[in-house]
Structure 1
């Protein structure tokens, strides 16, 4: 990739981040999502009392993924989502609960329909990819 191509790509990603509402949108998404997670009997135990840390990590990851600052990778390295979720029992039920809370957060974000659909499609694919067991909790 040439320097010019890289500059164009960075500019396009920055424009996407701005179109989505920038930091404020991702802060709202993470906060609203974790408001739901904090009271979810399946998901809340996975955070072992660190919902605030989870909220920050999710916000940073989403900002980076959608063209914003690369703070997530600078602080935590490559996202490696599947590896980071491997210690947890991510069942289809956990996936569905995750998507329920993310859907509520996304609905509150007030994005334009095209952006909202693009984000929702990503969330569904990512949630599906995190499933690592079909066995319910013991």
Structure 2
């Protein structure tokens, strides 16, 4: 019996994730709606988000080991006051970039990938508000092929 690949493996591993995030953030820098949210991002921001995606989508725990894990990501969003239209644009640009770099288009992968992008962006929106309650989560979520993993509330 062969082991089912992770989403990270299926999409092409570290190289594919790095390309996705590099090209995506090139678009973000030019987008009038998103530019204000990211105007102070470091030049290597895309690399840090790629580390997050790698871990979430089933790769190594590189974000936790090198960047501090879930609590670090949470702190990066606190107080940013992301607006719903900014979240929607972020998702649209992410999916556009996924198409442009030719991530796999099979329905199983795209369903799981889009589910994570939607869920993650909604969590970022909620956690960015001034009145956001503290998160109960302690660890980076691990996203798979089916239903959302436990503790993704």
TM-score by length of 1: 0.76
Q: Secondary structure at the match of 2:60?
A: coil
Aligned to 2:114: 120
Aligned to 1:106: 98
**Superimposed CA distance per residue, residues 27-66 of structure 1 (whole angstroms, 9 cap, x where no aligned partner):** 1210221121011123223233435322111111001111
Cα RMSD after superposing both structures:
2.2
What is the distance in 2 between the residues matched to 1:89 and 1:38?
18
Aligned to 2:43: 52
- Conservation of the 8 A alpha-carbon contact between 2:11 and 2:103: no
Larger Rg: 1
Aligned to 1:136: none
Aligned to 2:14: 23
Q: Structure 1: 5+ residue runs without aligned partners?
A: 1-10, 134-138
Q: Structure 2: 5+ residue runs without aligned partners?
A: 130-153
Q: Secondary structure at the match of 1:38?
A: helix
Q: Which has the higher helix share?
A: 1
Counterparts of residues 1-138 of structure 1 (less than 5 Å): 15-16=5-6, 17-50=8-41, 52-80=43-71, 81-108=73-100, 109-111=102-104, 112-131=106-125, 132-133=128-129
TM-score by length of 2: 0.69
Pairs aligned (count): 122
- Conservation of the 8 A alpha-carbon contact between 1:27 and 1:59: yes
4+ aligned runs moved over 4 Å, structure 1: none
Q: Judge which range, 98-107 or 44-53, deviates more.
A: 44-53
Distance 1:129 1:30, change over 3 A: same
Q: Secondary structure at the match of 1:52?
A: coil
Deviation at 1:104, TM superposition (A): 0.8
